[in-house]
Amino acid sequence: MTWLLRNFILALSGNDSPYQLAFGAMLGWALGFCSIKTPIFAFLIVIVLFFRVNISLVGAAFLCAKMLTFFLMEVIVQLGTATLTLDALNGFWTLLYNTPYIAISGFNQPKVMGALVLGLIFGIIGFPFIMKFTPYYREKILPILAKFWIIRLLKGSKLMTILIK
C-alpha cells in the first residue's frame, strides 16, 4: 500500500501533464467498477496501454473503485437496469445487441452496464478535479511539503527506500 501512495505522490509531482493524470484516473475508475471477467475490462486495459496515461493513478483509482464496488453493488445493478430499460435508448441497445462483436461484451447485463455508467460518472466528476488540483498541488503544496524536516529525512532514508519497494 505504501508503494501506491508513493507512486500517487510522485505522479502528482512528476512531469506528466494534468490531462494524462486525469485520463488515467478516469480509466482507473471505469476499470475498477467493471468485473474482471468481462471483455469490456480487457478492452479498457488495451485503452490504458494504448494511451499515454499515468499507471499509478490508474491503479489508485482502480483500487478505490474496487473497494467501493462492494458497498455500491445494489446501486450498480439498479443503475444498469434503469439504463438498459430506458425507452429512448431501446433502438440503440437493439442495434448494439445485433452487432456480433459488441454483443459478446455482455453490455446487456445490468451489472456490467451499471458498472460502466458509474465508472463514467466518477470519471467525469474526477476529471476536472484532477485537472485543477494538479497545478495547484505542484505550485502551492509541494514547496511547502518539501520544507518539512520529516520529508527531507524520509527522502534520504535507506529504510524508506526499502519499505516502499
Please provide the average confidence, as pLDDT, over all residues in the chain: 81
Helix (H, G, I), strand (E, B) or coil at 38: coil
Digit-coded pLDDT (tens) for 45-84:
999 999 888 888 888 889 888 988 889 899 999 999 999 8
Cα–Cα nearest to 29, from 47, 11, 5: 47
Percentage, residues of the chain above pLDDT 70? 81
CB-based contacts of 37, cutoff 8 Å, min separation 6: none
- Cα gap 153→80, rounded to integer Å: 49
Do residues 29 and 122 lie in contact, with contact meaning Cβ atoms separated by under 8 Å? yes
pLDDT score recorded for residue 36:
86
Work out the number of other CB atoms within 10 angstroms of the CB of residue 20: 19
Average pLDDT of 27-54? 88
DSSP label at 87? G
Check pLDDT > 80 for residue 86. Answer: yes
Digit-coded pLDDT (tens) for 103-135:
777 778 888 889 888 988 988 888 898 888 888
